[in-house]
Amino acid sequence: MFVDEAEIYLRSGKGGNGCVSFRREKFVAAGGPDGGDGGKGGDVIFEAVNDMNTLSEFKFRRKYVAENGQDGSGGRSFGKKGNDLVVRVPVGTVVREAETGLVIVDMAEEGQREVILTGGKGGKGNQHYATSTMQVPQYAQAGQEARELTVKLDLKVLADVGLLGYPNAGKSTFLAHVSNARPKIADYPFTTLTPQLGVVNMNYGKTLVIADIPGLIDGAAEGVGLGHEFLKHLERTKVLIHLVDAAAIDGRDPVEDIVHINEELAKYSETLASLPQVIGANKTDLPDAEVLMEEIEAYCAQNGFSLFKISAATGAGLRELLDEVVRLRDKADEGPTVFEREYFGQNLENDTEPVVVTPLEPHEFEITGPAVDKMLGYTNLESERGFDFFQKFMFRRGVIDRLEELGVQEGDTIYVGGISFEYYR
């Protein structure tokens, strides 16, 4: 079963609690505090894999929870870190925050791993709180709470060429002829419900990945039928091949078909409608095609479309069409279209919780506070986009100004959530 949408609940692991304990040994009358720290909770990590091509397993399992960190214990024993939870998704899956629809991450590359939720930090044991005036601390720090998030998974096929056309335009025959795909082919006025992918190996060392998008009907952009579900699979493509039945076997007008499908594209996305488009007038091996070709040629010339007379059944004209598609594809930006991250955590934009800047040793500063903890829980500072958001967060919350008030200099060390980096203005 091909499933390209799912909604699941995620929760990272809670941090283990710090321990209140005192050293108890024979002949030691007053042992000091020796409570160990709690272990960090497990992260929720997504991994993109090629051996999955559907989101069907997420229809049956909707809750994914990482392991909690263990509590600390006496004898300065630290609690064990909770195991991370790795969620495998197909390459091409876009992860969105369920309520807002904002992009969290686009899993566009095989082997890509992204931390979606970080586990809570373990609490400090009472050994950390002994001072000259408080030698018997009776308290320890609680572990940081788990983070939770409901996400929508949206699988968008990774193809650089989209294949368009009404049912019976010959798309399945075309794809079967030019590629390694083996779609079902039948003479029916409807289409399969699964996008088909085919890889075309050109004789000069280049390849095309073509997605046969199921036939669209009028109103698809408004969600009529399965319009949205199909149109989204075009969003990564660089070039469109638009097939029409030049012989009008079903009594359809091929020019009207081109107009209607392009109207649906424009309603759904101006970006899609502006992609380079090559028209393939199919079934030109049939006698009836000669009657309509003049009208098709006039329309394509008027609207700037490249037109190729082809026969998907015999292979006539296919090489010339594919050569043009390769040329247009190569003119486009290299690499797949990747959706940029838009979501960085719950209410962080309007968060008013405190951010504290504390001077430590000379040339060292620590940034702490509830807002920082929340930001770190939803942001991976090791990624370029995550660190960029972190920098903007620091400016917006006045942290940079506060650091400069305290005399920070370039090259000083800044600690945030256990991560250190050098300060540069």
Tokens of 298: 């006039």
Closest CA to 120 of 38, 33, 64: 38
- CA distance to 31, 89, 155, per residue, from 5 (Å): 59, 12, 6
DSSP secondary structure, 258-297, as one string: HHHHHHHHHHH-HHHHTS-EEEEEE-TTSTTHHHHHHHHH
pLDDT confidence of residue 119: 92
Strand partners, 240: 162, 277
pLDDT confidence of residue 62: 94
Closest CA to 421 of 377, 395, 387: 387
Closest CA to 309 of 300, 321, 298, 295: 321
163 touches 241 (CB < 8 A)? yes
Q: How far apart are CA 247 and CA 254, in angstroms?
A: 8
pLDDT confidence of residue 278: 95
Q: What is the pLDDT along the chain (425 residues), one digit of tens a residue?
A: 567 789 999 999 999 999 999 887 776 656 789 999 999 999 999 999 988 878 889 988 999 999 999 999 988 899 999 999 999 999 889 999 998 888 899 998 889 999 999 999 899 999 988 887 788 888 898 998 999 999 999 888 778 888 888 877 888 888 888 886 554 444 433 444 566 777 888 877 788 888 887 655 444 444 443 345 567 777 788 899 999 999 888 788 899 989 988 888 888 888 888 889 999 999 998 887 787 898 999 999 999 999 999 998 899 999 999 999 999 988 886 666 777 777 766 555 556 678 888 988 888 898 888 878 777 777 777 766 677 777 878 887 888 888 888 888 888 898 887 778 888 77
Q: How far apart are CA 319 and CA 244, in angstroms?
A: 17
13 touches 152 (CB < 8 A)? no
